[in-house]
Chain A
Amino acid sequence: MRKIIIILVQLLYAYGLFSQDVTLTVDAPAFVAVGEQFRLSWTVNSRSGEFEAPEIKDFYVLSGPQTSFSQSTQIINGKVTSTISNTYTYYLQSNKEGKFTIPPAKYRVKNEDYLSESVEIEVVREDQAVSRQDDTQGGGAGGQSVSASDLYVRLLVNKREVYLGEHLVASLKIYSRVNISGIQEVKYPDFQSFLKEDLETPPLRALERENVNGSIYGTGILQRFLLYPQRTGTISIDPASLTVLLQQKSRSNDPFFGDFFSTFATVPKMIATLPLEIKVKPLPEGAPEGFDGAVGNFSVRSELSADTVSVNNALTYRMILQGKGNLKLMAAPDLNLPPDIEIYEPKVNSDLSISASGTSGSRVFEYVLIPRYHGEFTIPPINFSYFDPSSGQYRTLRTEEQKFTALQGDEGEEGTRVYGGVSKENVRFLGRDIRYIKTGKTIFRSGKKILLKSNPFLYSYPGILLLFFILIVLRREQIKRNSDIARVRNRKAAGLAARRLKLAAECLKNSDTEGFYSELLKALWGYLSDKYNIPLSELNIEAVKSILDKNKPDSDTVADLHEVISKCEYSKYSPDSDISTADEIYRKAEKIIKDIENK
Chain B
Amino acid sequence: MKRLILMIGGLLIFLLSLTAQETKERNLLYEKALKEYQDNNFPEALEIFERLIASGFSSYKLYYNAGNAAFKAGDIPSAILNYEKALLLKPLDEDVRYNLVIAGTYTIDRLEVIPEIFFVRWFKIFSLLLHINVWASISLLCFALSLIMLTVFLFSARYKLKKMSFTTAIILFFISLLSFTLALTNKSLTLNNNEAIVFEPVVTGTSSPGTGGNELFVIHEGTKVEIQDKLGEWYEIKLSDGSVGWVPANFVKKIIP
**Residue ranges of A at the interface with B (Cβ–Cβ < 8 Å):** 338-340, 373-377, 419, 422, 424-427, 429, 432-452, 457, 460-461, 464-465, 467-468, 471-472, 475
Contact = CB atoms under 8 A, between A and B. Distances in A.
Contact of A442 (B30, B56, B68, B151): B30
Contacts, number: 116
29 contacts: A338-B218, A374-B201, A375-B200, A375-B202, A422-B108, A424-B109, A434-B71, A434-B99, A435-B68, A437-B34, A438-B64, A439-B38, A441-B27, A442-B30, A442-B62, A444-B26, A444-B52, A445-B58, A446-B56, A448-B56, A450-B132, A450-B133, A450-B191, A451-B133, A451-B136, A451-B137, A464-B140, A464-B143, A475-B154
A434 B143 contact: no
B228 interface: no
A446 B147 contact: no
A427 B105 CA distance: 6
B98 interface: yes
A425 B110 contact: yes
A434 B103 contact: yes
A445 B60 CA distance: 10
Contact of A443 (B59, B95, B136, B140): B59
Nearest to A436: B68
Contacts of A467: 147
Given A433-B102, A475-B155, A452 B184 contact: yes
Contact of A340 (B147, B150, B218): B218
Given A441-B27, A450-B132, A468-B150, A429 B202 contact: no
Contacts of A424: 108-110
Contacts of B218: 338-340, 422
B37 interface: yes
Nearest to B131: A445
A475 B46 CA distance: 64
A472 B155 CA distance: 9
A449 B23 CA distance: 18
B198 interface: no
Interface string B16-40: 0000000100110010001001100
B151 A468 contact: yes
A120 B11 CA distance: 113
Interface in B76-113: 95, 98-99, 102-103, 105, 108-110
Interface of B: 23, 26-27, 30, 34, 37-38, 52, 56-62, 64-65, 68-69, 71-72, 95, 98-99, 102-103, 105, 108-110, 131-133, 136-137, 140, 143-144, 147, 150-151, 154-155, 183-184, 187, 191, 200-202, 204, 218, 220
Given A434-B102, A441-B27, A464 B144 contact: yes
A306 to B, nearest CB: 19
Contacts of A471: 151
A451 B109 CA distance: 39
Contacts of B98: 434-435
A441 B30 CA distance: 9
Contacts of B64: 437-438
Contact of A452 (B37, B155, B183, B204): B183
Contacts of A435: 68, 95, 98-99
B154 A461 contact: no
Nearest to B61: A442
Nearest to A471: B151
A465 B183 CA distance: 20
B108 A444 contact: no
A434 B136 CA distance: 35
Nearest to B190: A447
Contact of B59 (A442, A452, A464): A442
Contacts of A429: 102, 105
Nearest to A339: B218
Contact of B201 (A373, A447, A468): A373
A373 B56 CA distance: 35
Nearest to A438: B61
Nearest to B26: A444
Given A439-B34, A442-B62, A450-B191, A375 B151 contact: no
Nearest to A440: B61
A534 to B, nearest CB: 13
| Closest 4 A/B residue pairs (Cβ) | A424-B110, A375-B201, A444-B57, A451-B136
Contact of A419 (B108, B137, B201): B108
B147 A465 contact: yes
Nearest to A461: B143
B96 to A, nearest CB: 9
A375 B184 CA distance: 41
Contacts of A446: 56-58
Contacts of B105: 426-427, 429
Contacts of A377: 202
Contacts of A373: 108, 201-202, 220
Contacts of B38: 437, 439
Contacts of A375: 200-202
A472 B153 CA distance: 11
Contacts of A450: 132-133, 187, 191
Given A451-B137, A468-B147, A340 B202 contact: yes
A504 to B, nearest CB: 34
A338 B219 CA distance: 11
B99 A472 contact: no
A450 B256 CA distance: 15
Contacts of A457: 136, 140
Contacts of A440: 61
B140 A461 contact: yes
B27 to A, nearest CB: 7
A5 to B, nearest CB: 78
A338 B205 CA distance: 11
A441 B143 CA distance: 36
A135 to B, nearest CB: 77
A451 B58 contact: no
A339 B204 CA distance: 10
Nearest to B219: A422
A441 B57 CA distance: 14
B25 to A, nearest CB: 11
Given A376-B201, A434-B103, A452-B132, 5 more contacts: A436-B68, A437-B68, A438-B65, A447-B57, A461-B143
Nearest to B145: A464
A460 B137 CA distance: 11
Contacts of B155: 475
Contacts of A464: 140, 143-144, 147
A144 to B, nearest CB: 80
A342 to B, nearest CB: 13
Contacts of A451: 132-133, 136-137
Contacts of B136: 451-452, 457
Contact of B187 (A374, A441, A452, A475): A452
A475 B99 CA distance: 60
Contacts of A419: 108
A456 to B, nearest CB: 10
B245 to A, nearest CB: 14
A470 B23 CA distance: 46
Residue of A429, A438, A467 with most partner-chain B CB within 10 A: A438
Given A450-B133, A465-B147, A434 B140 contact: no
Nearest to A372: B108
Contacts of B140: 457, 460-461, 464
Contacts of A444: 23, 26, 52, 57-59, 62
A459 to B, nearest CB: 11
A435 to B, nearest CB: 5
A443 B37 CA distance: 19
